[in-house]
Structure 1
Amino acid sequence: MFSYLITAAELQQEHRSDWLVFDVRHDLMNPQAGRNAYLQGHIPGARFLDNDSDLVGKLTGKNGRHPLPERTKFADLMRKQGLESQTQVVVYDAGNSMFAARLWWMLRWLGHEKVAILDGGWQAWLAENGKVETDVSQAGPVPSQWLESATPDMPTVQATEVLANIEQPHFVVVDARAGERFRGEVEPIDPVAGHIPGALNRPNSSNLQADGRFKPVLALRAEFASLLGGRPADQVVHQCGSGITACHNLFAMELAGMNGSKLYPGSWSEWVSDSSRPVAAGEA
């Protein structure tokens, strides 16, 4: 069972017809880029899921840029894709795994454990001379009767809990955005710059090697241990701009055997939608 990572070579060797492979390539600044890339070429049999339509809930203007969908609706989408309890799922994006990590987290949230990220994504597949398909006319999957777990398997926290934690800390927030955004020097997407008071900064790019693959487990474990200063994983809450790259940090911790951290799904884009919430700038 592949539960975290699968290499391009392993996918070529192990891939079976009953596996589900999802292409989630996306560009936050160009929402059509992922679908266009899929149409130009994808892993044979892969199905495209759109970050802005398939994998988000209803936008209210107060719940962030990429709110989680209703759990039951997302489970229904997975049933329509043919997910069964024993189905091996593989997820890939353009190469940095941030969108793949989001879908990995969402499937684990539903209670499905057999889901792995293609390490290095599409670029690793091409580097391994993987076959490329352009056909999108394959027969649709046979819907399943699979049922999600009764309660979420991956914990989350809400803005009210994060706000209360500033005055009476019992967890630490780890912000996955780039350092200049965390410090409030620039803000290319959201209307307010800065970070949640008391948060630590761990840019999600720090989880990767130069080739886009994840760092070795021991390196990730050492780096997170240094950042957290002895805090246990279940006292860590991950946050980013809209809940996507936060999943990358959460995945990296899980990969490193540091299990049980939580996600703040609304993240910075939800936080700053209410001007009464405090904002900090500069280093943590």
Structure 2
Amino acid sequence: MKLHEYYSKRIFSEYGIPIPPGELAKTPTEAQKIAKKIGFPVVIKSQVLVGGRGKSGGIRVAKTSPEVKQHTEDILALTIKGLPVRMVLVDQAADIKTEIYLGITNDRAARKPVIMASAAGGVDIEEVAHKTPEKIIKCHIDPLMGLQSYQSRDLAAGIDLPREHWRAFGKIALGLWKAYVGSDATLAEINPLVITGDGELLAVDGKMVLDDNALFRHTDLEELRDLDVDQEAEIRAREHGLSFIKLDGDIGCMVNGAGLAMTTMDIIKLFGGEPANFLDIGGG
């Protein structure tokens, strides 16, 4: 389950990661009140669970209350990659000097989490991995030992982070690890983590993906699920405790057990077909 930026950053803050002052708004009037409260300039950010918000006009800077009103109206009228914008995050604008990427995810091949950092922050990390993989520094984390301070230092040195920021970077990396574990996440990402004009590190954007199998431990987070990103069939299947994912093919699959379901899909592909769905109705 994907979390919106506003709540991802709220979780980060609970683990000691500095974030800009900001609040959620669903109307232009609410956005104006928040902007007046936190101070100008502000950044108005659409809250939709897709990338490319900035290129689609879903992120705008406002320096006055009338600009806040106009930008919020415009953003709330958008549909970005098929998803309607229903709310915006109004954040205090940061004085950005440097952008860094920092994230933790599961490495299935290594069977352990991996923390990654890059000096090429603020852009799609998949694009960086494809074009310039040498810019991404990785360290695997022993799930029993947790993130170690030397690993944070290795990351900081690997991305040529000025030494005066190493201590703050280490605290943020540790906070991200604790947020990742504490939320049963499969991804916890800060992109970008910025160095401000005052020399402070600040998480101005955040993303978290939670393990659906662990949501029974996080009923408060389950309530935040954005149904706009799910197919109607997926919602109905979830209500009945079934694992269903809609695909683009035309051959339906109804299978007992995830392993057999994957094998069935592989066989369909092997013989030139395209599965219409993944469906696990429960193993033996």
Pair in the same fold by TM > 0.5: no
User: With structure 1 as the length reference, what TM-score do the two structures score?
Assistant: 0.26
Asked which structure has the greater CA Rg, the reply is: 2
Choose between structure 1 and 2: higher helix proportion.
2
Choose between structure 1 and 2: higher strand proportion.
2
User: With structure 2 as the length reference, what TM-score do the two structures score?
Assistant: 0.26
